[in-house]
Amino acid sequence: MSAPPLETPASEDSARLADLVSGRRVVALTGAGMSTDSGIPDYRGPDSPPRTPMTFQQFMGDAAFRRHYWARNHLGWRHMDASRPNAGHRALAGLERAGVVGGVLTQNVDLLHTKAGSRRVIDLHGSYAQVRCMGCEALISRFTLAQRLDAANPGFAESVSAATGVEIAPDADAVIEETAHFVMVDCEHCGGILKPDIVYFGESVPKPRVEAAFAMVAECELLLVLGSSLTVMSGLRFVRRAAKDDIPVVIVNRGPTRGDEFATLKLDAGCSEVLTALTPDR
């Protein structure tokens, strides 16, 4: 039977978490709620507006969808690139240096764990900072693509920002509607479709990455879920595996998750506040 969400004071929550963590090898599984304190919005938080992410099938099957995506991303990706780790990221990296956390599995594409100093990180869904050709598999940096898109669309960013302002959405894009005049570019090597090196909805996480993540979970003694609603199977499967192997699962998330039934302890709280309370003396 799952543990009910705690309604006790924050200090007691932290004490129970500290007791569970003490002496155990911990692996963290993080989602979008981990990065909201860095100014990156999430899809499913209690205060998040409804959003419909683009699917892999839409992106690959319709040039208009691709143009719309890249126009939005061309405005929004630098916001993610400029984002900095928050107190929760830094605390988690500190716990790794202290030998408490053995690794991080993240569903986020923002690279903030790496920027914070975490060394053993598996980016389950890839990274905003790379672009892949779907034809020849060539990789280029997002900055390199931005230079090409600037040349193909002179003045685009300035004109859109001046006319409407820019609202940043999840996954390094911006909320704009008028994109029909945006010019997309293709792979310089083979002319193939360029796609962010990110796992889209409807696309599978690469098998070697999944196997490495399961191996990381298998070696831990506590799985700490941070800021994920576990709505998609790419995260929930690790919680299910941990529960199956009798590994305690602690979930820290604002609002319910699909994994609550597996939780040894559930904290309805923010990641930064919980992690910094867990590491006051480190």
> The tokens 């939780």 sit on which residue?
263
Confidence of residue 42 (pLDDT cuts 50, 70, 90): confident
Cite the annotated binding site for Zn(2+) by residue number: 133, 136, 187, 190
pLDDT mean over 51-67? 87
- The helix (run of H) or strand (run of E) holding residue 156 is helix 156-164
Confidence of residue 2 (pLDDT cuts 50, 70, 90): very low
pLDDT mean over 161-171? 53
* Angle (CA) 65 53 39, round 5°: 120
Q: What is the mean pLDDT of the chain?
A: 88
Cite the annotated binding site by residue number: 31-51, 107-110, 133, 136, 187, 190, 227-229, 253-255, 271
Decide if pLDDT at 254 tops 90. yes
Decide if pLDDT at 268 tops 50. yes
- Rg (alpha carbons) of the chain, rounded to whole number: 20
pLDDT mean over 6-11? 48
**How do residues 65-99 score in pLDDT, each as one tens digit?**
999 889 888 888 888 899 999 999 999 999 999 99
The tokens for 243 are 């529960």
Q: What are phi and psi of 211, to 5 degrees?
A: -65, -40
Q: How confident is the model at residue 80, as a pLDDT?
A: 87
Confidence of residue 31 (pLDDT cuts 50, 70, 90): very high
Q: How confident is the model at residue 169, as a pLDDT?
A: 57
Confidence of residue 238 (pLDDT cuts 50, 70, 90): very high
Query: What helix, strand, coil percent values describe the chain, rounded to 5?
Result: 40, 20, 40
Cite the annotated binding site for NAD(+) by residue number: 31-51, 107-110, 227-229, 253-255, 271
Q: How confident is the model at residue 153, as a pLDDT?
A: 94
Q: How confident is the model at residue 3, as a pLDDT?
A: 46
> The tokens 């903030």 sit on which residue?
112
Decide if pLDDT at 8 tops 50. no
Decide if pLDDT at 162 tops 50. no
Active-site residue, 125 included = yes
Decide if pLDDT at 281 tops 80. no
Decide if pLDDT at 159 tops 80. no
> The tokens 């969400």 sit on which residue?
5
User: Among residues of the chain, what percentage have pLDDT more than 90?
Assistant: 70
Q: Of 211, 252, 266, nearest to 92 (Cα)?
A: 252
Q: List the catalytic residue out of 74, 113, 125, 189.
A: 125
Decide if pLDDT at 270 tops 90. yes
Is-contact 31 235, C-beta < 8 A? yes
Q: How far apart are CA 138 and CA 194, in angstroms?
A: 9
pLDDT mean over 206-218? 97
Mutual orientation of helices 271-278 and 10-21 as an angle, nearest 10°? 60
Confidence of residue 280 (pLDDT cuts 50, 70, 90): low
Helices (H) and strands (E) counted in the chain, each on its own, are 10, 11
Lowest mean pLDDT among 65-74, 124-133, 184-193, 211-220: 65-74
Q: Of 263, 229, 281, nearest to 17 (Cα)?
A: 263
Q: How far apart are CA 102 and CA 223, in angstroms?
A: 10
pLDDT mean over 121-126? 97
Beta strands in the chain (DSSP E): 26-30, 101-106, 121-123, 126-133, 139-141, 167-169, 173-175, 194-198, 222-226, 249-252, 265-267
Residue 90 Cα distances to 110, 166, 200, angstroms: 14, 29, 28
* Higher pLDDT, residue 44 or 7: 44
Domains and CATH numbers, the chain: 1-40+85-125+205-282 (3.40.50.1220), 50-82+126-198 (3.30.1600)
pLDDT mean over 223-248? 96
